[in-house]
């Protein structure tokens, strides 16, 4: 299959990172993968502005799906994939829900770059354990929102897009066959990525397996960036038919 692989769709945080940074060996491996003919896309919960910067600076990237499928950054542009109506009204609605969450749970700091988001609002998870995180997300749903969480953020939104739907949209846009892609992630917000036939979780996904209705088809031996590197090296080895 690796010889026929057309594209890799990868989450970023705690999938390609260690301690919040993408190591140089992962960046080098992604350039090598792109040079081998595999199209590379990031699929992240980070804000649209972050995705635009990443797409601009990393030459191996063809695009960045941001805000858990809410928008796509490609060719120097941001395209909203989610249907949100009037942006100002939508953002005001999310802010109202956020304030109600703070009334219920106390001060919840928003994530860095929150002011640059278009389709969601993100709460910083630092210091909030998995149980409390799930409780906050469930309460947001009770307030009429949708919510997913990752290892670093809780996302509040009121549209129906997710990472998997966005990947499907990108495949249609770029002429990529869905049965010739691979996806990789680590957290509950990556669950839509695990719905693809060849989905991979880095080893730290084991922390969330009991919360996932859809589980990755494969799990790497190593966690985080080392797990991603493990996958990329295996793709390159099989694609080239030589040890890598």
Q: Which two tokens stand for residue 64?
A: 């960045």
* 130 & 104 share domain: yes
Per-residue pLDDT at 63 exceeds 90 = yes
Nearest to 123 by CA among 138, 110, 134: 110
* 136 & 179 share domain: no
What's the maximum distance between 2 C-alpha atoms anywhere in the chain? Answer: 58
| CATH code, 108 | 3.90.1070.10
Domain that holds residue 124: 87-157
Per-residue pLDDT at 243 exceeds 80 = no
* 76 & 97 share domain: no
Report the pLDDT value the prediction gives residue 1, as an integer from 0 to 100. 82
66 forms bridges with which residues in the sheet?
Answer: 71
Domain boundary among 157, 181, 201: 157
Report the pLDDT value the prediction gives residue 74, as an integer from 0 to 100. 97
Counting the structural domains of the chain, the total is 2
Domain boundary among 157, 192, 215: 157
- Which residue carries 């635009």 as its tokens? 52
* 189 & 136 share domain: no
When the pLDDT of each residue in the chain is averaged and rounded to a whole number, the result is 96
Per-residue pLDDT at 244 exceeds 50 = no
Q: Which two tokens stand for residue 214?
A: 């859809």
* 15 & 49 share domain: yes
Per-residue pLDDT at 241 exceeds 80 = no
* 70 & 109 share domain: no
* 149 & 97 share domain: yes
* 98 & 213 share domain: no
Summarised one tens digit per residue, pLDDT across range 106-156 is 999 999 999 999 999 999 999 999 999 999 999 999 999 999 999 999 999
- What is the separation, in whole angstroms, between the first and last Cα of the chain? 17
- Name the burial class of residue 88, with classes exposed (0-12), middle (13-18) and buried (19+) by CB atoms within 10 angstroms of its CB: exposed
Summarised one tens digit per residue, pLDDT across range 3-52 is 899 999 999 999 999 999 999 999 999 999 999 999 999 999 999 999 99
| CATH code, 205 | 3.40.50.1000
- Identify whether the C-beta of residue 37 lies closer than 8 Å to the C-beta of residue 7: no
* 153 & 165 share domain: no
* 64 & 14 share domain: yes
Per-residue pLDDT at 242 exceeds 60 = no
Order of strands across the sheet with 153-157?
Answer: 121-124, 153-157, 146-149
* 35 & 150 share domain: no
- Identify whether the C-beta of residue 217 lies closer than 8 Å to the C-beta of residue 15: no
Nearest to 40 by CA among 7, 76, 2, 73: 7
CA pair distance 123, 81, nearest whole angstrom: 22
CA pair distance 87, 120, nearest whole angstrom: 11
Domain boundary among 132, 157, 182: 157
* 76 & 182 share domain: yes
Neighbouring residues of 77: CB distance < 8 A, sequence distance ≥ 6? none
Per-residue pLDDT at 213 exceeds 50 = yes
- Identify whether the C-beta of residue 225 lies closer than 8 Å to the C-beta of residue 16: yes
């Amino acid at each position: 299959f690796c010889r026929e692989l057309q594209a890799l769709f990868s989450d970023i945080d705690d999938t390609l990172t260690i301690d919040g940074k993408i190591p140089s060996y992962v960046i080098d491996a992604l350039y090598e993968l792109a040079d081998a003919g595999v199209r590379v896309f990031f699929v992240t919960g980070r804000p649209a502005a972050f995705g635009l910067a990443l797409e601009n600076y990393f030459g191996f990237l063809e695009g960045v799906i941001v805000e858990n499928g809410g928008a796509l950054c490609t060719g120097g542009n941001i395209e909203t994939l989610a249907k949100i109506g009037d942006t100002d009204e939508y953002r005001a609605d999310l802010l109202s829900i956020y304030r109600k969450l703070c009334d219920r749970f106390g001060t919840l700091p928003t994530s860095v770059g929150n002011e640059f988001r278009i389709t969601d609002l993100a709460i910083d998870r630092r210091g909030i354990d998995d149980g409390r995180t799930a409780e906050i997300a469930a309460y947001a749903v009770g307030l009429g929102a949708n919510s997913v969480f990752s290892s670093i953020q809780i996302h509040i939104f009121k549209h129906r897009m997710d990472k998997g739907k966005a990947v499907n949209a990108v495949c249609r846009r770029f002429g990529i066959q869905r049965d010739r892609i691979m996806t990789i992630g680590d957290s509950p917000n990556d669950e839509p990525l695990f719905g693809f036939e060849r989905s991979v979780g880095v080893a730290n996904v084991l922390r969330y397996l009991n919360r996932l209705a859809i589980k990755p088809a494969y799990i790497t031996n190593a966690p985080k960036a080392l797990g991603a590197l493990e996958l990329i090296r295996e793709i390159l080895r099989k694609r080239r038919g030589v040890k890598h």
